[in-house]
């Protein structure tokens, strides 16, 4: 959320950003609504003050026994209350509409974010690792995994419908191994590891910037009015909502959680196999720091480096891209995606994401700290996907496949898999 004063001073800028991020909001309508809101607040406060004055006068005349004067003031009080009731109802409606529009206003965008309409316009920053060449016809991850007996899609669909999966034996081990390896990397770098809820109330999703724009991607539990979260970023940030915290040193939080997304609108190759599934696991990094862009930018690069180091431990080729304006989410100021090479897709495909939000998220969540002058300020927040699985299993299986159908296990993973060095066909 942005400060309304900032929005007022930058109407054209905010409207341009909303257009770039494809958010349907009219900033000039918000400003008109805010003007109405402020005027109604002024009138309501004036009438409330007048009502207090009337109450004082009634009490004074009753105390002196002048009933006629007291009745006169009571009549005035009734008129004030009638007028106040009308204005308070108007104010209530205006505030609700104002809050709805404020929640649609996007975060500002960094000056180095590339212009573009979609992920096709994202700009490569660096490329790491060599794309493998095969002297045999490589298989895709689904065929590989089924031949190895570590993936069962057919029975999963019988249980849960489309885009469900069951991982077995070494497939399950691999799934868990990448999570634990990522957690160990983060713990060694000062992150506090946490187990967090997999569902949250509406307020938590609004405050972290996933609602209102992401409702169609989120599973709802209507009886309890809770939502299954698509990332532990939601509970990790909400963990500190409405608090004044100490960020003299940045706070590093991480969690591994089962995540759920409806993936509305996904089609084509994205829905094949394990790329876009409804249920997955993710190790998430969340960092909170003081309200300083230079500090925040350094942390942004740091958490991106953490994810890159994990990919290098997995011995996978990847590239980092700067996400363009049209592919940037409402809440992000700056974003990098890390795309890992997937042979069956003949391309680098997104496996990780780093986001820098400035104080957009903490304003909604009301997370503050005291600066060196004792003044309360909103924190900056950042987040990054350290690992997401089973998607990461696609490049792991496909890049490390051998001619005999076996899969090489990177050495960094072996201690989590009973020293297994390869997965061999059944």
Q: Is the pLDDT of residue 294 over 80?
A: yes
pLDDT of residue 70: 83
* Six token digits for residue 75: 């009549």
Which of 276, 363, 364, 368 is catalytic? The answer is 276
- Residue 353: active-site member: yes
Q: Is the pLDDT of residue 266 over 70?
A: no
Mean of the per-residue pLDDT values of the chain:
95
Q: What CA dihedral angle connects 91, 92, 93 and 94, to 10 degrees? A: 40
The pTM score is 0.92
pLDDT of residue 268: 67
- Mean of pLDDT values over 181-195: 98
Q: Is the pLDDT of residue 28 over 80?
A: yes
Cis preceding-peptide flag for 212 (omega within 30 of 0): yes
- Res. 76 pLDDT band, cuts 50 70 90: confident
- Mean of pLDDT values over 129-158: 96
The tens digit of pLDDT for each residue in 314-324 reads 999 999 999 99
- Residue 37: active-site member: no
* Six token digits for residue 147: 């031949």
Neighbours of 347 (CB within 10 A): 10
4-102: CATH topology: Helix Hairpins (1.10.287)
- Residue 276: active-site member: yes
The tens digit of pLDDT for each residue in 230-254 reads 999 999 999 999 999 999 999 999 9
- Residue 364: active-site member: no
Judged by phi (left if over 0) then psi (alpha if -120 to 50, else beta), residue 415 lies in: alpha
The tens digit of pLDDT for each residue in 347-377 reads 999 999 999 999 999 999 999 999 999 999 9
User: What is the residue-wise DSSP string for 267-304?
Assistant: -GGGGSTTSS-SEEEEEEEEEEE-S-HHHHHHHHHHHH
- What is the spatial distance between Cα 6 and Cα 30, in angstroms, rounded to a whole number? 13
What residue segments make up the domains of the chain, in order of their start? 4-102, 119-423
pLDDT of residue 271: 74
- Residue 391: active-site member: yes
pLDDT of residue 171: 97
Sign of CA dihedral 36, 39, 41, 43: negative
Mode of pairing for the β-strands spanning 226-228 and 219-221: antiparallel
Q: Is the pLDDT of residue 265 over 80?
A: no
Which of 37, 163, 261, 368 is catalytic? The answer is 261
pLDDT of residue 62: 87
- What is the spatial distance between Cα 179 and Cα 30, in angstroms, rounded to a whole number? 44
- Res. 168 pLDDT band, cuts 50 70 90: very high
Cis preceding-peptide flag for 230 (omega within 30 of 0): no
Looking at the DSSP assignment, which residues form a beta bridge with residue 401? 407
Which of 353, 354, 362, 365 is catalytic? The answer is 353
Which of 354, 364, 391, 398 is catalytic? The answer is 391
Residues in the chain: 426
Q: Is the pLDDT of residue 396 over 90?
A: yes
Which of 350, 370, 377, 414 is catalytic? The answer is 350
8 A C-beta contact, residue 7 and residue 14: yes
Judge if 4-102 and 119-423 fold alike in CATH terms. no
119-423: CATH topology: BirA Bifunctional Protein; domain 2 (3.30.930)
């Amino acid at each position: 959320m942005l400060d309304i004063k900032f929005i007022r001073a930058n109407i054209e800028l905010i409207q341009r950003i909303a257009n770039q991020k494809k958010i349907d909001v009219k900033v000039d309508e918000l400003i008109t609504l805010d003007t109405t809101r402020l005027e109604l607040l002024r009138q309501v406060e004036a009438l409330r003050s007048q009502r207090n004055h009337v109450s004082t006068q009634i009490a004074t005349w009753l105390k002196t026994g002048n009933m006629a004067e007291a009745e006169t003031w009571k009549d005035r009080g009734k008129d004030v209350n009638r007028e106040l009731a009308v204005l308070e109802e108007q104010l209530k409606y205006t505030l609700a509409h104002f809050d709805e529009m404020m929640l649609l206003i996007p975060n500002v965008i960094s000056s180095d974010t590339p212009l573009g309409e979609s992920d096709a316009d994202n700009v490569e920053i660096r490329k790491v690792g060599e794309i493998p060449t095969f002297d045999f016809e490589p298989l895709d991850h689904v065929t590989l995994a089924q031949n190895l007996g570590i993936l069962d899609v057919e029975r999963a669909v019988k249980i849960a419908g489309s885009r469900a999966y069951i991982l077995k034996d070494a497939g399950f081990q691999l799934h868990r191994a990448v999570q634990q390896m990522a957690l160990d990397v983060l713990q060694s770098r000062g992150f506090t590891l946490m187990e967090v809820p997999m569902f949250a109330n509406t307020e938590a999703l609004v405050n972290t910037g996933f609602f209102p724009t992401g409702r169609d991607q989120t599973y709802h539990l209507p009886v309890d009015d809770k939502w299954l979260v698509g990332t532990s970023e939601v509970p990790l940030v909400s963990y500190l909502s409405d608090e004044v915290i100490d960020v003299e040193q940045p706070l590093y939080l991480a969690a591994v959680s089962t995540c759920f997304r409806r993936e509305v609108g996904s089609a084509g190759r994205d829905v094949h196999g394990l790329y876009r599934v409804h249920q997955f696991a993710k190790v998430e990094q969340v960092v909170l720091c003081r309200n300083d862009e230079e500090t925040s930018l350094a942390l942004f690069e740091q958490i991106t480096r953490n994810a890159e180091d994990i990919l290098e431990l997995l011995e996978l080729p990847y590239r980092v891209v700067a996400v363009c304006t049209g592919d940037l989410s409402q809440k992000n100021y700056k974003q990098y995606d890390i795309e890992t090479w997937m042979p069956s897709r003949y391309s680098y495909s997104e496996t990780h994401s780093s986001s820098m939000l400035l104080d957009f998220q903490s304003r909604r969540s009301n997370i503050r700290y005291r600066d060196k002058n004792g003044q309360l300020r909103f924190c900056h927040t950042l987040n990054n996907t350290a690992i997401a699985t089973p998607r990461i299993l696609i490049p792991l299986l496909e890049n490390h496949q051998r001619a005999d159908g076996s899969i090489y296990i990177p050495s960094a993973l072996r201690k989590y898999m009973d020293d297994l060095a390869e997965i061999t066909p059944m």
